[in-house]
Structure 1
């Protein structure tokens, strides 16, 4: 009760400073006494003030409260005093039991309203008019473990985020204060009706996601990078946008389970997607990130068993020994002298493949590619020389006469780790080097706001690219959505 009175008095005091009340209220608890069975004048005043405050109790609205992770939300705070300072705060407890937060400082307008999509944050983890700032600017709370990266590993459950509004411009100690209002929202990678199917046979390990409806649908083979493990959330989100998608594990994080980088492994996985009865046989794409891009380009250029309809290549390179992708790590070990460390001790891999080799045996022959390719290039990538690689790929395809198949999007200020929209930017994080097992903090690069814009913009371009090349017509895409 005492805590509630303190919070209430603090709020009332700030209201008075803006001339909302004709009296002044000190930020301390009132002295309560009873005389002749009656409350003292101080308590009577408190009751009257409480009634007045109840009439203007702030109302926090967040819509939708349940949606996909790439869906925008609308946040509005109403019933505040005019020109009243507040802090909007988001809080998320990750599956690794780490808290992430973001916050923005606002001042209500003359109507006592804060509309996040229209009003500018003047401080916090983001500034300006940023409708999704409370999500993409999240960072670990103070005194968290180092090297954290926010990833959703169980796509069958949502990200549960608490959105709260606090009185005044607060920068720390949110857990020790009482919010004026809180709304809990759910952010999903998996849309209602999407089916998740484990693929576990002697040769292939992955997870298949199938959209609801009769189909048929286009297919996507989803390849992550050198971090290893089975990463499902991008495939789940692709299926939520009407693509049958298979997340493939080819780097195992299990000590007793070998990794598989042989081209036949990926061909087998491609055929699993292609031969599913709900998949359009001639509309299967490859989607690669980082090392996954190297695999994607290798398959598109050299595989005689599969023919992707199109390829999505994010933050990757064509530089690799063409006889086998497995030899990529031999090449890394031979170039450890090119490793660098920044001033904070983070490992920088960017120079490993520089200069881009002229030897045709050390890079994919881009002239052999016969399908459309989209390149997503991050200009502050500190993990891989993706800018230089993109320029060389463009020159190779121009010389070969297939440059018309290449679409490139470059994003200044964005780093290596490109995630679905509104995922918090991580400039550096913990990483296990596959060939040595060494745990390091890897520098990925990028700045928070440009990186967030790149994630949102590139996801939109990727979806349009896949829709354009995998659906025979717009009519079939509309029918599949229904």
Structure 2
């Protein structure tokens, strides 16, 4: 601490004697969460050691931080997109390391996961420069310079509309402009509650997005949710005045992917132009009710492993069944499907499922519709880019609160999120904006 205070004192003395203060540029200061930042520090001494630190307080009042250790060049400048971090929560040349490597500060509650609940408000991040290579105690130190930035899931002009119609519950996000736009049904996995932030971001990229609630909530009972619920939601989206009714997609993660694949294969009402399935499996068909599908999974609960008090769920669906009746007949799917999988997924056997889907679709003659992205070292929770990696986090399983192991390592997971999001948006644009209208089947 004495050495750090001495470094700070010397730096301040230099600034006062020369009249030159460090300058921190962070652009853009207000942007979507998937936009890359340009961070540059100027007016440092040549070869000066500094720490770039980013801190964020979540809506739950938990504090998250990331930091990198840098050495300025001969001109006293650091360009984060070009210069390597020598240590900290990330290393190497990482233009967005201050975002994707965020973690709870020491002493925080265990099992945290950083998720945006109120998409109508921004996430605020304080980015600061400290003299010397520091690893802790930032709140007790005085920064050389600080900038505050805003990161949004909703672009200006995006409309958020609560939806409760014909028994369907969710939130509709409508892009700015005259429309109509392509639409998509956004379905998350086994976690409870309505998750809106991905749908808000997709609307910010030009898609009317319906974030669909379909698991237990105060208004919805899982025992009443059947295939007709998703078909009704699809029809509501399809009939909306701002939606191009023949340009709809299904977008699912985890259990939401199982629903997307089931609807694409079996429904006579849901005829999507394309499907995006993240970390999912066809080995959990949803042919009648959601409850029945969940009960089938529960029959294999003895396969669940616990290591270091963390739940490993993936074995519950392994081996992938050979019996065709126990999995979605993906050979019947008639639209393009994009699978996004993590090679270290510890929650669902997404990689093994994709391999089996390739075999089934090749035999059925529709393999040309399937595109598979597999990212070694990535885990289950593949989210929009620059979202912090969570190898494990708290999860409600039935009535019990557990710690679920999702898998993945920070750097490869961050790379997977950035690469897959770019490819997902390109896939959706290709099939919803640019492709010719679907022929009637």
TM-score w.r.t. length of structure 2: 0.95
Counterparts of 1:382-461 in structure 2, within 5 Å, are 382-433=346-397, 436-461=398-423
CA deviation digits over 1:239-259, x for unaligned, max 9? 0000100100001343x7413
Find the residue that maps to 2:199 and give its secondary structure.
Answer: helix
2:26 to 47, 62, 65: 62
2:433 to 471, 476, 481: 471
CA gap of 1:182–1:209, structure 2 versus 1, over 3 A, is same
Give the corresponding residue for 1:258: 221
Give the corresponding residue for 2:8: 11
1:334 to 285, 299, 308: 299
2 CA distance for matches of 1:50 and 1:418? 44
Is 1:184 aligned with 2:181?
no
Give the corresponding residue for 2:189: 225
Give the corresponding residue for 1:462: 424
CA deviation digits over 1:350-400, x for unaligned, max 9? 100011101111100011100000000111000011111000011000000
**Post-superposition shift, 1:14?**
6.1
**Post-superposition shift, 1:228?**
1.9
Structure 1 gap ranges (5+): 1-5, 16-45, 477-482
Structure 1 vs Structure 2 CA RMSD: 1.8
Give the corresponding residue for 1:316: 280
CA deviation digits over 1:332-367, x for unaligned, max 9? 22111101012x210000100011101111100011
1 CA distance for matches of 2:363 and 2:72? 58
**Post-superposition shift, 1:7?**
8.5
Give the corresponding residue for 2:47: 83
8 Å CA contact 1:322, 1:361 repeated in 2: no
**Post-superposition shift, 1:50?**
6.1
Is 1:113 aligned with 2:77?
yes
Give the corresponding residue for 2:17: 52
Equivalenced residue count is 433
**Post-superposition shift, 1:107?**
0.5
2 CA distance for matches of 1:449 and 1:403? 32
8 Å CA contact 2:53, 2:128 repeated in 1: yes
Counterparts of 1:139-178 in structure 2, within 5 Å, are 139-178=103-142
**Post-superposition shift, 1:11?**
2.7
Is 1:132 aligned with 2:111?
no
8 Å CA contact 2:15, 2:21 repeated in 1: no
Structure 2 gap ranges (5+): none
8 Å CA contact 2:259, 2:286 repeated in 1: no
**Post-superposition shift, 1:201?**
2.9
TM-score w.r.t. length of structure 1: 0.87
8 Å CA contact 1:322, 1:363 repeated in 2: no
Give the corresponding residue for 1:306: 270
1 CA distance for matches of 2:88 and 2:201? 30
8 Å CA contact 1:155, 1:188 repeated in 2: yes
2 CA distance for matches of 1:358 and 1:120? 49
2 CA distance for matches of 1:257 and 1:387? 32
Counterparts of 1:349-368 in structure 2, within 5 Å, are 349-368=313-332
Larger Rg: 1
CA gap of 1:396–1:129, structure 2 versus 1, over 3 A, is same
Find the residue that maps to 1:409 and give its secondary structure.
Answer: strand
Find the residue that maps to 2:56 and give its secondary structure.
Answer: strand
Once structures 1 and 2 are overlaid, which stretch shifts more, 183-192 or 267-276?
Answer: 267-276
Give the corresponding residue for 1:19: none
1 CA distance for matches of 2:183 and 2:413? 28
8 Å CA contact 2:4, 2:132 repeated in 1: no
**Post-superposition shift, 1:216?**
1.5
Is 1:198 aligned with 2:162?
yes
1 CA distance for matches of 2:71 and 2:16? 24
Give the corresponding residue for 1:92: 56
CA deviation digits over 1:196-216, x for unaligned, max 9? 111013511100011111112
Give the corresponding residue for 1:30: none
1 CA distance for matches of 2:153 and 2:372? 26
2 CA distance for matches of 1:202 and 1:370? 28
Find the residue that maps to 1:459 and give its secondary structure.
Answer: helix
